[in-house]
Amino acid sequence: MERKVRVIDTTKCIGCRSCQVACKNWNQLPATETAFAGSYENPSDFSPDTWSRVRFNEYTNNGEVNWYFSFCSCMHCTEPICTNICPYDAIHKTDLGPVLVDMELCVGCGACAAACPYQVPKIGGGKSWKCTFCFDRISNGLEPACAKACPTNAISFGEASEKITEAEARVALLRENGYANAQIYGKEELGGLSVIYILADAPDKYGLPADPKFSLATFYLWKAASAPLKALAAVGLAAGTLSSWFKLRKDKVAQEKKEKESTLTKNR
């Protein structure tokens, strides 16, 4: 099955935040306490109970006002740092696109949260929480709740190749129609995001890092910090280097999962 993406066309977004609420509605997430913080934007950050939200950015340019709205959630990167940094291998990338947290394995250590270039995962109740790309919905042929709810199709959902072609055509059209800075974002970044943006202006105007990177320092810090833990867990294993231990554990987990899957399939 081809990888799925969401395309966020900011030139169609009206900032109504239906996506933000639809996410809570579908995923049964309670509201968080917020307060006016100087603009329409709220909540001001992700949290264990807020997996998607809309940024509001205002600019004046030669007396003309620009008010940019941009949906944000987990980008479901093709090369996600969180899956690699997680000391418990609790995070994995699915073929369909979603990057998912295994709640049985997750202990809420915060490695993913520290490493994410978009500061998406949030730790609460001993677990890491973030957008699931509505995995249950998309596995059943439905759109994610945010895309379904969007009034103007500013959030749309589909197969990566087709949606990226569409997005490129839209950007070309915008450029012809006076949006000199129109651009696509997310096609190449971090191996290609599963959230592709059509922007009318530079990414930083929407709160998106122009060149997203994960911090190597953070990566090694977490690897180092989790080492003793791993050593303990690895008693009995013929552990060589740290990285080979990682590989072993990964293979083991994969094997266990495969077995579990086949058992369940048989049972159905």
Partner 1 sequence: MTNHWIDYRNSDVLMNFGGNTAENHPISMRWIQKAREKGAKLIVVDPRFTRTAAIADLYAPIRPGTNIAFLGGLINYAIQNDLYQKEYVVNYTNASYLINPEFSFNDGLFSGAAVDDNGKVSYDKSTWTYQTDGDGNIIKDYTLQDPNCVFQLMKKHYSRYDVDTVCRITGCPKDKFLAVADLYCSTGKPGKAGNIMYAMGITQFTHGSENVRAVAMVQTLLGNMGIAGGGVNAQRGQQNVQGSTDMAILFGNMPGYLGHPKAALHPTLADYNRVETPATSYWSNKPKFIISMLKAFWGKHANSENDFCYDYYPKLDNKDRSHIAMYKYMGEGEVKGMICWADNPAVSGPSASGKRNYSASLDWQVVVDIFENETATFWKEPGVDPTTIATEVFLLPAALHIEREGTVANSGRWIQWRYKAQEPPGDAKSDLWIVDKLYKKIRKAYEADPGPFADPILKLNWDYGEDIDAVAVAKELNGYESDSGKLLTNFTVLADDGSTTCGNWIYSGYYNNDEDPHCKRRIKETEGIGSNPDWSFAWPVNRRIIYNRCSADPQGRPWDPDAPVLWYENGEWKRNDVPDFNADIPPEETARAPYIMNPELQARFFAPGMVEGPFPEHYEPWESPVDNILSAIQYNPAITVWYPDSRGDRQQFPYIATSYRLTEHYQTGMMTRNMPWLNEAMPDLFVEISPSLAAKLGIDNGDLVIVESKRGQFEAPACITPRLQPLKVDGEEQEIVGMFWHWGYACMSKGPIANDITPSIGCANTTIPEFKAFLCNIRRAG
Partner 2 sequence: MKISRRNFLWISGAVITGSLALKLGLTPEEKVVSKDLRIQYAESSTTICPFCGVGCGIICYVEDGKVVGTEGDPDHPINEGALCSKGSALYNMAYVYDEKGVPQINPRRLTQVLYRAPYATDWEVKDWDWALETIAQRIKKTRDTTFEKTDSDGVTVNRSKALAWLGSAMCNNEENYLFHKLAKALGIINIDHCARL
Would you count residue 62 as binding partner 1 (CB under 8 A)? no
Among 110, 119, 124, 153, binds partner 1 (CB under 8 A): 153
Among 3, 4, 6, 18, binds partner 1 (CB under 8 A): 18
Instruction: Choose the contact partner of 220 out of partner 2, partner 1, none; CB within 5 to 8 A by kind.
Output: none
Q: Between residues 66 and 262, which has the closer beta carbon with respect to partner 1?
A: 66
Instruction: Choose the contact partner of 6 out of partner 1, partner 2, none; CB within 5 to 8 A by kind.
Output: none
Among 26, 46, 51, 69, binds partner 1 (CB under 8 A): 69
CA distance readout (Å), 195 to 69, 87, 156, 160, 180: 15, 26, 10, 10, 22
CB 56 to partner 2: min, Å: 13
CB 153 to partner 1: min, Å: 7
Q: Which stretch in 19-27, 87-95, 138-146, 201-209 sits in contact with partner 1 by CB under 8 A?
A: 19-27
Q: Give the count of residues interacting with partner 1 (CB under 8 A).
A: 36
Would you count residue 122 as binding partner 1 (CB under 8 A)? no
Q: Between residues 119 and 153, which has the closer beta carbon with respect to partner 1?
A: 153
Instruction: Choose the contact partner of 130 out of partner 1, partner 2, none; CB within 5 to 8 A by kind.
Output: partner 2
Alpha-carbon span 144 to 120, nearest angstrom: 18
Give me the sign of the Cα torsion angle 9, 136, 207, 149.
positive
CB atoms within 10 A of CB 115: 23
CB 247 to partner 2: min, Å: 22
